[in-house]
Structure 1
Amino acid sequence: MRTIVLSTLAALMLLGCKNNAKQTEEDKSMDAEKETTSLEWETLFDGTSFDNWKVYNGGEVVEPWSIEEGAMVFNPPAERPQGVTYNLISKNTYTNFVLSMEWMIAEGGNSGIFWGIHESKDFFAPYQTGPEIQVLDNERHPDSKNGLNRHAGALYDMVEPSEDVTKPAGEWNTCTIKIDHVNNIGEVTLNGTVIVSFAVDGSEWDEMVANSKFATWEGFGAYPDGHIGVQDHGDRVAYRNIKIAKL
Structure 2
Amino acid sequence: MSKSFFLSLTLAGLLIDISEAATITGKVSLEGIPPTQEAIEMDADPACKMQHSEDVFTEKVVVNGNGTLKNVLIYVKEGLGDKTFPLPTEPVTLDQKGCQYHPHIFGVRAGQTLKIVNSDDTLHNVHGKTRTASLFNLAMPFKGLELEQKFDQADMVKFVCEVHPWMNAYAGVFNHPFFSVTGAEGTFELKNLPAGTYVIEAWHEKFGTTTQSITVAEGDSKTVDFTLKAA
Q: How high is the TM-score relative to the length of structure 2?
A: 0.27
Higher share of residues assigned strand: 2
Q: Higher helix proportion, which one?
A: 1
